[in-house]
Amino acid sequence: MTAGTAYTDQPAALTVAVWSALATVRDPELDAPLTELGFVEHHTVSAAGEAVVGLRLPTYFCAPNFAFLMVADAYDAVSAVPGVEKTVVRLRDHFAADMINNGVAARAGFVASFEGEAVDELDNLRADFVRKAVLAGTDRVCRAMVSSGTDSSSLATLSLGDAPEGPDRERLRARRRELGLPSGDGDALVVDPMTGARVEEDQLRKHLGVARITRVSQEANSGVCRGMLRARYPQSVEQEDTP
């Protein structure tokens, strides 16, 4: 391979790697990747290793704390890609875009970025949404098991490893791991997302009811956000090409 070919191919390879990194970044409320939601407007990587990412959201007034989390997470994910020497993430068409973009670029944190307006960092908010993701994931896994013939009353006695292999189980495992909850095959299938304790049979029906409501709400909000994004950017929402 000639030096010229290596120079040409490096940005292309990094562009693919940056897209893969962005696919790990989730909307905190919807628990879905920014890449699937259409929130990534563009991403480029120069020969010098500068990655530039453009983000967009469904409305001008999307909650600034949610937006800050996504921009900051995108910055961290892209910056961690080997070969990326500089990262620029820009949110556009949002009322707080300048404060968010400048704060993330300066690694200032949410409170400093919104000085005089924010009083807490976003760790607790992030944890709350991951707990909701655990509930929604529990519903997906358990509902599929019951549909396949598992007695619903037995779910309280089953382990995570008893659930069928597949993306839903691994997604649930990953969210539990984020919270530091038991996530091994031998650990309880249905757990309290606050404590990680097994949900006992007498509380199972109530817990699964909450889990179902959480999943339905999450998926409904996802549909609304996708529709609003298409309405806001009718000519461009599908134009971000995957490498």
Closest CA to 193 of 143, 137, 132, 243: 132
Mean pLDDT on 48-74 = 97
Question: What per-residue confidence (pLDDT) applies to 241?
Answer: 47
pLDDT tens profile 76-116? 999 999 999 999 999 999 999 999 999 999 999 999 999 98
pLDDT band at 236 (very low <50, low <70, confident <90, very high): low
Question: What is the mean pLDDT of the segment spanning 62-80?
Answer: 97
Is 70 exceeded by the pLDDT of residue 197? Answer: yes
Structure confidence at residue 3 (pLDDT): 34
Residue 58 has pLDDT above 90, yes or no: yes
Query: Could you say which of 3.30.70.270, 3.30.300.130, 3.40.50.11240, 3.40.50.720 is the CATH number of the domain covering 3-119?
Result: 3.30.300.130
Position 196 pLDDT exceeds 60: yes
Under 8 Å CB-to-CB from 98, ≥6 apart: which residues?
none
Residue 151 confidence (pLDDT) = 96
pLDDT classification of 242: cutoffs 50, 70, 90:
low
Check residues 60 and 234 and name the one with the higher pLDDT: 60
Give pLDDT, residue 199.
Answer: 98
pLDDT of the residue at 235 = 74
Q: At what angle do helices 3-22 and 64-79 cross, to 10 degrees?
A: 150
Average pLDDT score, the chain:
93
Per-residue confidence band for 202, with pLDDT thresholds at 50, 70 and 90: very high
Q: Across residues 155-174, what is the average pLDDT?
A: 98
All structural domains of the chain with their residue ranges? 3-119, 123-224
Q: Give pLDDT, residue 8.
A: 46
pLDDT in tens, 4-49: 333 346 788 999 999 999 999 999 999 999 999 999 999 999 999 9
